[in-house]
Structure 1
């Protein structure tokens, strides 16, 4: 199996259908919460919705860079989530995220193997493989947070 297929499968695992590393995935976690839970604040932790927005911000930005050749995302905007006041807003965020996750995995799957060792749009960012593996690691990090926050919300709601 080539790197593009292996990495695309790993991306689909974390976002869409896997259970191997974390015993869950983003799609599963998002299906377990409604908009009120997704926007529920626990202390000073990010909300589930904010974390989904954050990961989707990077997926969307990198997908745009794949199309344009210019990486134009900035960390300072990665948590600028618009207000979610209804199930419609939550559903839109989830749909956008899942669509971008699938598009991202598809783009990686289409990559030529030699591209992984080339610079990621600019030498200062390192290689494509380093950045795509970074997306995976970053995604698992926040998936763990989402899973824990969801459990904390369930405990809090059961106690009320």
Structure 2
């Protein structure tokens, strides 16, 4: 994970937090821990976060989202991973996290559909198979066998 906020040398790392409809900067609770840990997932866990939800798989879609949760504020850590870059940010409370998830919903829905299409097996999913056949210019006979041109 990376953070796009510029960091001043010798100063604590900053992170974005969404709270009550506003974005502000704060000290990053993951990156400002006393532990000298290179494994980011271990840093996240040692800051008290546990996996909450995830959308997308890294090999099937160009953007994935993982959300981590803990009891103290900021209660939610969002990690958006792209092909070559990732960003993380925080939501102070559950209502803030739900607002962010609602804003991300169209993108996540498109990613989920893309992932499903990428993993589809036309032999077992007739409607999706028909769509995939049409997209790829394939035709099938009454028995479902491909017709070669």
Structure 2 length normalisation: TM-score?
0.26
- The answer to which structure, 1 or 2, has the higher relative contact order (CA under 8 A, 6+ apart) is 1
Q: Compare CA radii of gyration and give the structure with the larger one.
A: 2
Larger helix proportion of the pair: 1
Structure (1/2) with the larger strand percentage = 2
